[in-house]
Amino acid sequence: MFRPIAETRPGPSLGFTFDGRAMTARAGDTVAAALLANGVAACRQTPVSGAARGPYCMMGVCFECLVVIDGIGNRQGCLVPLREGMRIETQAGRRQPDEVRS
């Protein structure tokens, strides 16, 4: 999907998982940028039809990059800086009542 250009400053990288798959990205990336750089096109399914969606605006406006980060849903991936060891998951459609834990 996206790749780093040749003229970038080298920097440290961070490890994280997306749906259990181990990935790495540049320290300083947002979660959404890290997913794009790892070839992830879709990061959620809509609550209405279940259609696949991916990051659209990258600036906090469209809410298409919503993901689950470390167990917390509805996070805007484009606004959250990536951290070492983050557990990122696809936000799968509508929340089901039996998923809700007290």
Cα–Cα distance for residue pair 39/60, rounded to 1 Å: 21
Looking only at residues 13 through 52 of this chain, which bind other proteins when binding is defined by CB under 8 A? 26, 28-30, 33, 36-37, 41-42, 46, 48-49, 51-52
For tokens 């509508």, what's the residue? 94
- Contact status: 58 vs other proteins (CB under 8 A): yes
For tokens 């009542």, what's the residue? 97
Q: What is the largest CA-CA distance in the chain?
A: 49
Total chain residues near other proteins (CB under 8 A): 42
Q: Could you tell me the smallest distance in angstroms from the CB atom of residue 17 to other proteins? A: 19
Q: Which stretch binds other proteins (CB under 8 A): 13-21, 59-67, 94-102?
A: 59-67
CA–centroid distance for 96 within its chain: 21
- Contact status: 90 vs other proteins (CB under 8 A): no
- Contact status: 59 vs other proteins (CB under 8 A): yes
| Structure tokens that stand for 94 in this block | 């509508």
The neighbouring-strand residues paired with 53 are 44
Cα-only R_g, the chain: 14
Q: Which residues here bind other proteins, judged by CB under 8 A?
A: 1-9, 11, 26, 28-30, 33, 36-37, 41-42, 46, 48-49, 51-64, 66, 72, 74, 78-79, 81
